[in-house]
């Protein structure tokens, strides 16, 4: 497992991450970020997997169904990722990532409770806003707490969550 550094020589990390730099805290945090990344990707795959039951239950057209999986998610995700990343570089990335995960989780639950197309559309838009705030703070945090020699391994462990989430969504999602 990757080793964490306590403090880089000559440069202290931001105050937001100073409290979390011990290896006993960083390795579990890396595992949790990997799991969150798997849900991030799995969520995107899942809408495509269950689109026919969604279509039947809500009586959706092809256009409506396409909007749920494409623009409803991608537009805000793309537009918000960069400003959220800039904010994560300048402030408490742990709190930003936590708030994003909470928002994303609440809207993902709202997707399951949606009884109409409009409700589902707005819930998917909310999911995209939450997910836009998850990736950049996680990468920034990992860059802060892992030495340069261990950073690629930490990023690989984090990134493996994506394909794992796609695999799980494909087999268990329907």
Nearest partner of 37 among 104, 95, 82, 90, judged by Cα: 104
Confidence of residue 21 (pLDDT cuts 50, 70, 90): low
> What was the pLDDT predicted at 152?
94
**Domain range summary for the chain, segments of one domain joined by +:** 20-172
Span 15-32, average pLDDT: 70
Element (H, E) at 144: helix 135-145
Confidence of residue 5 (pLDDT cuts 50, 70, 90): very low
Its pTM stands at 0.79
Span 109-114, average pLDDT: 93
Confidence of residue 13 (pLDDT cuts 50, 70, 90): low
Report the alpha-carbon distance of residue 34 to residue 138 in Å, rounded.
9
> What was the pLDDT predicted at 3?
52
The structure tokens listed for 36 are 């969150």
Q: Say yes or no to pLDDT of 12 above 80.
A: no
Contact yes or no for 42/50 (Cβ under 8 A) = no
Which CATH number is associated with domain 20-172? 1.20.1250.20
Span 37-44, average pLDDT: 90
> What was the pLDDT predicted at 104?
92
Lowest average pLDDT, out of 15-19, 31-35, 125-129, 145-149, goes to 15-19
Span 19-42, average pLDDT: 83
Angle at 134 between CA 128 and CA 136, to 5 degrees: 115
């Amino acid at each position: 497992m990757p080793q964490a550094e306590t403090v880089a020589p000559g440069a202290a990390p931001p105050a937001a991450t100073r409290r979390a730099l011990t290896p006993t805290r960083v390795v579990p945090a890396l595992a949790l970020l990997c799991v969150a990344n798997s849900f991030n990707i799995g969520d995107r795959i899942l809408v495509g997997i269950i689109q026919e039951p969604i279509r039947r239950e809500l009586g959706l057209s092809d256009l409506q169904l396409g909007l749920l999986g494409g623009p409803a998610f991608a537009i805000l995700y793309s537009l918000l990722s960069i400003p959220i990343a800039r904010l994560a570089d300048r402030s408490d990335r742990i709190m930003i990532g936590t708030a994003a995960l909470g928002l994303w989780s609440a809207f993902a639950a709202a997707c399951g409770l949606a009884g109409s197309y409009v409700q589902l559309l707005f819930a998917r838009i909310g999911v995209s806003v939450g997910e836009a705030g998850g990736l950049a703070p996680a990468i920034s945090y990992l860059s802060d707490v892992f030495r340069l020699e261990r950073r690629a391994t930490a990023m690989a462990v984090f990134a493996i969550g994506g394909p794992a989430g796609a695999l799980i969504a494909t087999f268990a999602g329907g």
